[in-house]
Amino acid sequence: MWDAIWTGGRLATMAGAAPYGAVEDGAIAVEGGRIAWVGPAAELPGRPDDLARERHDLGGRWVTPGLVDCHTHLVYGGDRAREFELRLEGASYEEIARAGGGIVSTVAATRTAEETTLFASARRRLSALLAEGVTTVEIKSGYGLDLETELKQLRVARRLGEALPVTVRTTFLGAHAAPPEYAGRADDYVEAVAAMMPEIADSGLADAVDAFCETIAFSLEQTAQVFEAAVENGLPVKLHADQLSDLGGAALAARFAALSADHLEYTNEDGIAAMAAAGTVAVLLPGAFYFLRETKVPPVDGLRAAGVPIALATDSNPGSAPLTSLLTVLNMACTLFRMTPEEALAGVTKNGARALGLAASHGTLEAGKAADFAIWEIERPAELAYRIGFNPLSGVVKAGRRL
């Protein structure tokens, strides 16, 4: 006997050859938090009532894998609404960053914030994501820029995963910006970040290491130094690459077998080829593109042609993407980047999981994977990307448990 079975629904398994991996009149059985069986109800090995202790009728609704938001900066203090006003008066994101605003202002607010305050504000943002079917989220540090505050952010991220029904993967982003005490001494700060790595790894609070490789942040050489320290300490890497200029960040990420290279607006052909060869996932962040009014669209055709898996994420952060709606990201990816609704959904399921190193356990509806799925009141999966600001979620199952 399985723990529970869901029947009478349509499944977008995101696995197999059919569009969306669709199964009409499908069934999903769960056992011990995992999917025990999934497929057409007609192929079940018996009558549903005889197969499971609990039975649920999906009433013709669609089921997708639980959504994965594979790039967020959810834990931070303060807000940047004033900076938003300044940008509307004509200041650019780079100008504000150079003038000591931007990331550094959030760093000041995050350093002084109590852990309970950080937890409460991040919990509200995370809850907004979960209300749209997210069951796995990545959360970065990067607003502490000293060991103590980076660990504080990572602890809050871990605690969020314990308090809410969501799998949290954490990322150490010490190399997000040089903090004020290292102003004009980026090389020294990079050395300090590399020196934090053993303690970060020993803490068990970080699942990966990220850096911001950009003219206004860290160079290729500085990024490589951070990555070397990460690899020495057994942590996989990912990179904010080629967001505002073509520094060759994607190729550097690939050289370190990065899980993902993210943003990629300016990534060139060589970067794409290197990512394809290394199996590095492209994480596109249309929310930041929209909010910064970028005009350079990431090379979606080139990524597609090279067979690089494309994931999508909110990049939820106070400066460039104050956004807590992954469904909105699906629409933006189609409208702004000309991705298909099917590609967009794959970007927040199968490929999002892959970007977190969770391809074997998450991201598709397949036997053996985590029983994380979302149930939607829709007629066709494309609706998830088509509507704006409408939430058709009707239920979520996390690790086999109905929420």
Question: Which residues lie near ligand DI6 (CB under 6 A)?
Answer: 102-103, 106, 176, 212, 240, 243, 288, 315, 317-320
- As a whole number of angstroms, the distance between CA 203 and CA 154 comes to 10
Closest CA to 365 of 65, 80, 47: 65
User: What, of Fe ion, ligand DI6, none, does residue 320 touch, CB below 5 to 8 Å by kind?
Assistant: ligand DI6
- Select the binding partner of residue 331 from ligand DI6, Fe ion, none (C-beta < 5 to 8 A, by kind): none
Q: Which amino acid is present at 198?
A: P
Q: CB nearest ligand DI6: which residue?
A: 319
Question: From the list ligand DI6, Fe ion, none, which binds 230 (C-beta under 5 to 8 Å, kind-based)?
Answer: none
Q: Which residues bind Fe ion (CB under 5 A)?
A: 315
Residue 103 interacting partner from ligand DI6, Fe ion, none (CB closer than 5 to 8 Å by kind): ligand DI6
- Residue 281's DSSP bridge partners are 260
Least separation in angstroms between residue 243's CB and ligand DI6 is 6
Q: Which is nearer to ligand DI6, 105 or 136 (CB)?
A: 105
How many other CB atoms are found less than 10 A from the CB of residue 255?
15
395: enclosing H helix or E strand: strand 393-398
CB of 358 vs ligand DI6, minimal distance in Å: 22
Question: Of 207 and 242, which CB lies nearer to ligand DI6 in the complex structure?
Answer: 242
Decide: 175 and 212 in contact? Cβ < 8 Å: yes
Of 66 and 249, the one with the shorter C-beta distance to ligand DI6 is 249
Close Cβ partners of 11 (under 8 Å, ≥ 6 residues apart) = 21, 22, 23, 26, 28, 38, 62, 63, 365
Minimum distance from residue 143 beta carbon to ligand DI6 (Å)? 7
Distance of closest approach, residue 87 Cβ to ligand DI6, in angstroms? 11
User: Distance of CA 1 to CAs 33, 35, 47, 137, 348, Å?
Assistant: 14, 13, 11, 32, 32
Please, what is the minimum distance in Å from the beta carbon of residue 77 to ligand DI6? Answer: 11
Cβ-based neighbours of 199, under 8 Å, separated by 6 or more: 147, 151
- Toward Fe ion, which CB reaches closer, 236 or 341? 236
Residue type, 313: A
Q: Which of the listed partners (ligand DI6, Fe ion, none) does 102 bind, with a CB threshold of 5 to 8 Å by partner kind?
A: ligand DI6
CA angle 46, 6, 25 (to 5 degrees): 75
Judged by beta carbon, residue 136 or residue 243, the one nearer ligand DI6 is 243
Contact yes or no for 264/286 (Cβ under 8 A)? no
**Of residues 58 and 313, the one with the C-beta less far from ligand DI6:** 313
CA 284/CA 265 separation, integer angstroms: 8
Residue 372 contact partner, candidates ligand DI6, Fe ion, none, CB within 5 to 8 A by sort of partner: none
Q: Decide: 34 and 371 in contact? Cβ < 8 Å.
A: yes
Q: Residue 225 in contact with residue 209, Cβ under 8 Å?
A: no
Report, in Å, the least distance between residue 179 CB and ligand DI6.
13
Tell me the residue nearest to Fe ion as measured from the CB.
315
Closer to Fe ion by CB, 266 or 373: give it: 266
**Residue 149 touches which of Fe ion, ligand DI6, none (CB < 5 to 8 A by kind)?**
none
Chosen from Fe ion, ligand DI6, none, partner binding at 349 (C-beta under 5 to 8 Å by type): none
Name the minimum Å distance from CB 260 to ligand DI6.
13
Q: Which residue carries 């931070």 as its tokens?
A: 76
Q: How far is the CB of 38 from ligand DI6 (least distance, A)?
A: 37
E strand residue ranges, 165-222: 167-175, 208-213
Nearer to ligand DI6, 108 or 273 (CB): 108
CB of 116 to ligand DI6, least distance (A): 22
H or E segment and range at residue 349: none
Q: Out of ligand DI6, Fe ion, none, which partner does residue 314 contact, by CB within 5 to 8 A per kind? A: none
Please answer whether residues 6 and 64 qualify as being in contact, where contact means their C-beta atoms are separated by less than 8 angstroms: no
